[in-house]
A and B are shown apart, each in its own frame.
Chain A
Amino acid sequence: MFKTIQTTCPYCGVGCGISAQVDALQHSVEIKGDKLHPANFGRLCSKGSALGDTVKLKGRLLQPIVHGQTSSWTAALDLVANTFKRTIDAYEPDSVAIYGSGQLLTEDYYVANKLMKGFIGSGNMDTNSRLCMSSSVSGHKRAFGSDTVPGCYEDFEHAELIVLIGSNAAWCHPVSFQRIRAAKERNPALKIIVIDPRKTASCDIADLHLPIASGRDAFLFNGLLQHLNQQGAVNSAYIEAHTEGFMDALQAANFTIAQVAGQCHLEIAAVRQFYDWFASVDKVMSLYSQGINQSSSGTDKVNAIINCHLATGRIGKPGMGPFSLTGQPNAMGGREVGGLANQLAAHMDFFNADDIDRVARFWGSQSIARKPGLAAVDLFDAIYAGKVKAVWIMGTNPVVSMPNADKVKHALQRCEFVVVSDCISNTDTTALAHVLLPAQGWSEKDGTVTNSERCISRQRALFTPAGDAQPDWWVITQVAQRMGFAQAFAYESPVDIFREHAALSGFENAGQRDFDISAFATITAHAYEKLQPTQWPVNQNHPEGTKRLFANGQFFTASGKAQFIAVKPCLPVNSLDAAYPLVLNTGRLRDQWHTMTRTALATKLNQHRPEPFVEIHPRDAEQFGLSHNGLARITSQWGQMLVRVRVTDSQKPGNLFVPMHWTEQYASQGRMGALVNPVFDPYSKQPESKHTPVNIKAYRPAWTGFMFSRSELNLNNIEYWVKINSNSVYRYELAGDTLPPDCLVWAKNLLHPTDQDDIHWQEYQDNGQGQYRVARIINQRLESLLFISTQRLLPERNWLSSLFAQPEITPAERKSLLLGLPPAGVPDVGAIICACFNVGAKTISAAIKERSLKTHQEVGQCLKAGTNCGSCIPEIKALL
């Protein structure tokens, strides 16, 4: 019995529509892009395409757990409500906090925010969106008086110049990137400029790449403002009619191109080229992301960019404008409800007493919070200091993702009461919880999300909930009721909440607030169920939604005029020194999402970059004695990390890059958060995750190895381990300091401590070369294997991995098993390049050679590689 359900992808902020063909009996789903959804028109990236592989129940949290024991919902909810209430009574409302996530649905977010700010009476509701785009929020508010993304995705197709700033959209927003790629293919006149210290995959389509020094973007855009003015490219009429503060901004931006180039470590000609192109065409889009936001001056950088658009009047019309590429599927929805600690609700704020009064009246609350709460870094510091005594973490993994993450870990360890709502049982954060509440996963949730272009889409349940998992809104509502707020939390379904959220957005809103979806205030359950993607505002004036804002030059500031901000460029807070001479940059990979709780479940997604790594320029690698594929320990003042080395000239000398994804569940020492400095932007409180001074040193283990096992193994005593999931087996990459004298015995014990029966084991050792290998085979079925080398001589893993997918191995395979190479005559596909169609590098190279393929399109026709999400096209091109 199949049914097709339209829903929304749970990964990045592009917010792609999905058409899911669900087989409820088999608990399986076939994922396709929704051809009608305006965010993607049928396209999906590698992560979205693999969603079907992530809906399995393995690893799910299925029951409430209290102090390590399974519990009933009633008991767990009573405990949470009573403890929060008791804590508030004994201390004050600010002694408790909720830390949410851009993965929560708007309805969940709304009730969480309402509970904390409206009824508990504390501003301590913050979210991981703080780490993601809070600088954009601040920048938008300073410039526009509202947190408004003016444009939409369609503008990509109208633009004449697209500037990607601090955004590797090719990997982080692949479907939008493919849309830009397609626009450029259709219109070769469209110029693409990438501004990023790294030569990322996004540079594949760039006409110009500016490898800017880390954190210097404000110099570059101040210089641009100056240049636009000098070249007469500013729109004086627009400035006059619709803005304020231009002269101050210009004065602060008093740099020559040479000065800019010097500050940014760029070539003068390249800067000039960028400026000239920017000045020469009207339809310019500035797409920016974490490279701008995650900075101690992120808000200023956002404004430095917006300044240039205001000065040229390039905003609110097709093909132009600043455009924040949001990181999370519902970061925007979180902002709508007021999920950040400095927001109140529905784009209303604490600094406005009328807003507080208005929301209090709407909610019928006597105890509404009157000042902002603690933002993420401060919040966990307050937990550490014992000021916040009870915290409820929902759908996020701060022990991994926060800066100074070891301190966050200690904070939670010493916190009196930690509640974690999650759909995954074992995460670095659930490990520290007193109460675990089973949340519904993406495939079970029902509600709405809003993407980067203000488009509200439905996320619909594909399956009945697993185990005792409950919707987050229900759980929060239940706690609220038990805390004595039953009347204000009488919701029975998501649509009840959505209606109230919509009503609040329109409450006493005669156009003063941008966020207005009052058209949905009376939406029926049926209409909600059928709701089609709609861009806000959606109100009486715009019942079908709104593509673009600010076309009329009217802004949401007190004066109705947009504000230039005089930006004085700042360097990152912590500067390099002899002890920490390198800049650490962090970011996303193509095939992983956040802390891997979901993506790591999909075999395909674990092949692109199976291990945590550091990218380093060849010159630095030489200076620090690092070799490609070796291991290195990175240290900062705050923590350390042990990772694989990738030497690449895509990295700027003096800069390191590490992925943000690995956790203690998947690697012994792969949490990048431990390294990152806990400093943040004064306006947005967004941490400076893109710039931490670090040092790096080669780690030279006594041995390296890898292991495959059908069951998970405990590897506490091994210095370096990484776990890589696939359908039928866990793969571990290993390295260690000591190897016992009887290595094979040790190896067999590691794989299976109780199986001493010789008949199950195949063994190989070369004591002269320090090679030790064992495999456990039962009735021709491969159960586990371990390869160890003291000289880093190890075979590739692909073929060995494939053997675990087979019910039996053949005699020929058995014979060459511990060699690690396919039997003579069987080709090796090599490392997987195209995750969507599982096509390996060796297969692609062979086809290129045999069939004389010249372009990635030809490779695609031949092997399908690169024809779905397209994010592997740069790698295919590299093979060509």
Chain B
Amino acid sequence: MKPRLVVIGNGMAGMRTIEELLTGAPDRYTITVFGAEPHGNYNRIMLSAVLSGDKTLEDIVINNRQWYVDNGIRLFAGEDKAVMRIDRKNRTVIARDGTLAAYDRLLIATGSKAVIPGVPGNTLEGVISFRDIVDVNKMLEYAARGQKAVVLGGGLLGLEAANGLVQRGMEVTVIHNHNILLNRQLDQHAAKMLQTELEQRGIKFQMAAKLKALQDDGNGHICAVRFEDDSELACDLFIAAIGVRPNMALAEAAGLYCERGIIVNDTLQTYDPGIYAVGECIQHRGQTFGLVAPLFEQAKVCANHLSEHGVAEYVTLPTATKLKVTGINLFSVGDFQGDASAETIQFTDAALGIYKKLVIKANRLIGAVLYGDTADGAWYQELLEKQENVSALRAVLIFGKAYV
């Protein structure tokens, strides 16, 4: 009999690991997957496109139910199939409806939860996050009534949500606690260009604003946000997009060592050698994750060990960011600020809406911000990952690979 592999979480990290495993060692395990959503596996990062109407749900499905069947994978999907407990002693997991699965290897890929601001009124109707199909459907319902929305958070997700909602006809204000949008991805110059462009698309901004409370309309539904200075902004829908927190409750309850996330080593193994974890639920060398690229890399390494090839080690590489808003080209990777010893190369063409900045240290590219023209983003990422000496390329570096 083949060893049994159980996966908790039917999301992008878990399923990419399974795909990698099926490629490298197709017959090694009997595989069981638990998922709390009643679907196959879809591309969560494309939810913005569904919201804005550029794509439908079918467009973003990665693996439909037939795929599980075709690959001999047992899938338990839906709210009542949510795993409630890991029994490490007996090597089983138990779902809400009592479904029980025994494992020889367990893969935890429970992802993350949106952070909801800790202010009064945060449990009101109309206060949601932007994590899954349910959230998108809810937003579309409000949008259909053409009401006012407030998005908390001027990060990638918040801006994508705001853009989607504006396209769906809502009046949208983004509240950001910083005076720079995408402050983890952009410098001031690029952020200003982005803000101007989004404003031209109808999105309003309250920058460097501090939220104090969410106001009840008397019926348990949100009707406004209140700021620290007691000013108010009316809204029918409030979307929290101020980040995610690793979803590690199950692991913690099972006695696995966790800090901000489930601690894993370079082979994606938890403190229990039979249990692996990948994706947004983990913490690796102090770092947690929110973008898709490192998840896929983790999947590759984890599958390598599950298939007992046992040679790969996971290293977190700088991840490039793109904003999935049609017509806005933006790219950011690495340390785009640099310190006193770093050198910067900058290019701007205001009329064309182009801004580029490259940060160099010891003749190596350590960061890049591109706005308006991101054609060379992949090249910069490659140079950055390979830590190539760019001295010989320096004169043409910002003008692009075509000049090399």
Contacts and interface: CB of A to CB of B under 8 A. Distances in A.
A819 B394 CA distance: 11
B402 interface: yes
B403 A762 contact: no
Contacts of A793: 395
Interface in A767-798: 767-769, 771, 777, 793
A765 B349 contact: no
A821 B403 contact: yes
**What DSSP secondary structure best describes chain A's contact surface?**
mixed
Contacts of B395: 769, 771, 793, 819
Nearest to B401: A824
Contact of B348 (A763, A767, A768, A824): A763
Interface string A809-848: 0000011101101001000000000000000000000000
Contacts of B398: 764, 766
Nearest to A760: B351
Contacts of A758: 348, 350
Contacts of A878: none
B344 interface: yes
Interface string B35-52: 000000000000000000
A768 B343 CA distance: 5
B1 interface: no
A824 B394 contact: no
Interface residues of A, number: 22
A824 B400 CA distance: 11
B343 A814 contact: no
Interface in B377-404: 394-396, 398-400, 402-403
Given A767-B343, A816-B399, 18 more contacts: A758-B350, A759-B351, A760-B351, A762-B348, A763-B346, A763-B347, A763-B349, A764-B347, A766-B343, A766-B344, A766-B346, A768-B343, A768-B344, A769-B394, A777-B351, A793-B395, A816-B403, A819-B396
Contacts of A816: 399, 403
A819 B345 contact: no
Nearest to B342: A768
Interface string B322-357: 000000000000000000000111111111100000
Nearest to A818: B347
A73 interface: no
A761 B400 CA distance: 20
B338 to A, nearest CB: 10
10 contacts: A758-B348, A758-B350, A759-B351, A760-B350, A763-B349, A764-B346, A767-B345, A768-B344, A816-B403, A819-B399
**What DSSP secondary structure best describes chain B's contact surface?**
mixed
A816 B376 CA distance: 14
A224 to B, nearest CB: 57
Contact of A768 (B350, B352, B360, B396): B360
A767 B344 contact: yes
Nearest to A763: B348
A815 B399 contact: yes
Contact of A814 (B348, B349, B402): B349
A759 B350 contact: yes
Interface of A: 758-769, 771, 777, 793, 814-816, 818-819, 821, 824
Nearest to B395: A793
Contacts of A763: 346-349
A767 B345 CA distance: 7
Contacts of A768: 343-345, 360
A767 B357 CA distance: 11
Interface in B286-338: none
Residue of B350, B351, B395 ringed by the most chain A CB atoms within 10 A: B351
A819 B393 CA distance: 12
Interface in B131-182: none
Interface string B169-204: 000000000000000000000000000000000000
B344 A819 contact: no
B350 A761 contact: yes
B239 to A, nearest CB: 33
B283 to A, nearest CB: 35
A765 B403 CA distance: 17
A819 B350 CA distance: 17
Nearest to A817: B349
Nearest to B360: A768
Nearest to A758: B350
B134 to A, nearest CB: 44
A124 B396 CA distance: 63
A748 B345 CA distance: 18
B304 to A, nearest CB: 39
Nearest to A795: B395
B346 A765 contact: yes
Contacts of B360: 768
Nearest to B361: A768
Contacts of A819: 395-396, 399, 403
B187 to A, nearest CB: 14
Nearest to A824: B402
Contacts of B347: 762-764, 818
A774 to B, nearest CB: 10
Nearest to B345: A766
A816 B349 CA distance: 12
A762 B349 contact: yes
